[in-house]
Structure 1
Amino acid sequence: MPAHLITGAGSGIGAVLAGRLAERGDDLWLLARDARRAAELRERFPGARTLVGDLGDPAKLAWALGHQELPVELDSLLHVAGVVELGPVGDLPVKVWNDTLGVNLVAPAELTRLLLPSLRLAKGHVVFVNSGAGLRAGAEWAAYAASKHGLKALADALREEEHAGGVRVTSVYPGRTATAMQVKVHQQEGRSYDAGRWIEPESVARAVLAALDASRDAEITDITVRPGH
């Protein structure tokens, strides 16, 4: 069975993806911040295996994963987890920049590096769930957009480096999606939240699965998903 490692499987797009792949009978490896969250994921997705590593501390990921069993062959690495903190450049402290770039950019780069041997063996697929902010930066979105613009650069460079060996790389750019992160964004913007206005996580998950399921003669490099109303 194909093996997939997912970050952010606890909620939103990541949880939907984990559920869809589990329904297909695929093998799941789910990254959790700590042992408690790992236990919660195993209970929610029976049969899934978990790895413990804190994306908020990318420098320790190599040490953490070095003490755990990793998949020998990995068919896909799905980077879904992320954080957001809004604010004008003039008000954003260094901690917000470091935390946002750490989780959204440095951790995916490091996790990809650590799992590339397994991806190369399987001629696997790396999917970065990016954001519309990875293509355009608006006022008060500087830190988040910078992290996502960097994530696009990471994906583009990785694709060029690994294409000859058969590893595929896709960036998915969802617009506003009805997730817990979007609730937080609305709170920071001081706006009322209406989930019906935004993309369903299922719709983004379907876009990711379409990229994964593309035949070997094709590589879907970039997908933009926008609200339909």
Structure 2
Amino acid sequence: MPTHLITGAGSGIGASVARLLHERGDDLVLLARDAGRAKELTARYPGSRTLVADLADPDRISWAFSHQPMPDRLDSLLHVAGVVDLGPVAELRPRTWHQQLNTNLVAPAELTRLMLPQLRASRGHVVFVNSGAGLRARAQWSAYAASKHGLKALADSLREEEHGNGVRVTSVYPGRTATPMQAKVHSQEGKEYEPSRWISPDSVATAILTAIDLPRDAEINDLTVRPGR
């Protein structure tokens, strides 16, 4: 069975991806920010393994991994975790910028770097769950959008660099999705949150699985998912 490393499996889109892959019997390696979270994830997905590292501190990911057994094989690396904090440029402090850039961009780059040997060996797949904000930045979204625009650049460069090694790279751009992150966004926007108005996390997860299940003669580079209502 294929082995997948998933970030953000605790909630939202990441939880939907993990559940769908677990239900079909694939092997899961789930990234957890601490030991307590790792215990929760292995209880939720019996038979899964965990790696513990904090994406908010990408400088220490390599150190954290050096103290843990790493997967021998990896068929896909699914970057789903992310953070958001809205605000106008006139008010955003460096800490807010660093938080979003570290978690949404630098950590995925570092995690990909560390896992490339396994991905090359299996001719695997890297999926970056981006955002509509990665294609267009709006007022109040500068820091988050900058991190996601950067994530698009990371994916595009990685695709060209690793094509000869057989590694496929896909960026997925969901519209507003009914997740805890979306509830936070609505709160910061001062709007009432109605989950039924937005995309189900399962729908985005299904799109992600479509990309990784595609036969080897093709590759989905960019996949945009928008609300159908």
Find the aligned partners of 1:163 and 1:148 in 2 and give their Cα distance: 22
Query: Cα offset for 1:59?
Result: 0.1
Partner of 2:82: 82
Partner of 1:52: 52
Partner of 1:150: 150
Find the aligned partners of 1:56 and 1:216 in 2 and give their Cα distance: 34
Q: Is 1:35 the equivalent of 2:27?
A: no
Tell me, what secondary structure is at the counterpart of 2:172?
strand
Tell me, what secondary structure is at the counterpart of 2:55?
coil
Find the aligned partners of 1:25 and 1:121 in 2 and give their Cα distance: 22
Tell me, what secondary structure is at the counterpart of 1:13?
helix
Structure 2 gaps of 5+ residues are none
User: What does residue range 48-197 of structure 1 map to in structure 2 within 5 Å?
Assistant: 48-197=48-197
Cα shift readout 1:63-110 (whole Å, capped 9, x = no counterpart)? 001111111110000000000000000000000000000000000000
Tell me, what secondary structure is at the counterpart of 1:145?
helix
Find the aligned partners of 1:69 and 1:157 in 2 and give their Cα distance: 29
Find the aligned partners of 1:78 and 1:58 in 2 and give their Cα distance: 17
Tell me, what secondary structure is at the counterpart of 2:139?
coil
Find the aligned partners of 1:59 and 1:121 in 2 and give their Cα distance: 25
Identity of aligned residues (%): 71
**What TM-score, normalized by structure 2, do the two folds share?**
0.99
Tell me, what secondary structure is at the counterpart of 1:106?
helix
- The amino acid of 1:126's aligned partner reads V
Query: Cα offset for 1:207?
Result: 0.6
Query: Cα offset for 1:61?
Result: 0.1
Find the aligned partners of 1:199 and 1:77 in 2 and give their Cα distance: 23
Cα shift readout 1:160-192 (whole Å, capped 9, x = no counterpart)? 000011000000000000000000000000000
Aligned length: 229
Query: Cα offset for 1:3?
Result: 0.2
Find the aligned partners of 1:224 and 1:203 in 2 and give their Cα distance: 12
- The amino acid of 2:54's aligned partner reads D
Cα shift readout 1:122-178 (whole Å, capped 9, x = no counterpart)? 100000000000000000000000000000000000000000110000000000000
- The amino acid of 1:71's aligned partner reads P
Find the aligned partners of 1:194 and 1:98 in 2 and give their Cα distance: 30
- The amino acid of 1:180's aligned partner reads P
Find the aligned partners of 1:22 and 1:227 in 2 and give their Cα distance: 26
Find the aligned partners of 1:123 and 1:10 in 2 and give their Cα distance: 27
Find the aligned partners of 1:128 and 1:66 in 2 and give their Cα distance: 24
Post-superposition, which runs of at least 4 consecutive aligned residues in structure 1 deviate over 2 A? none
Query: Cα offset for 1:24?
Result: 1.2
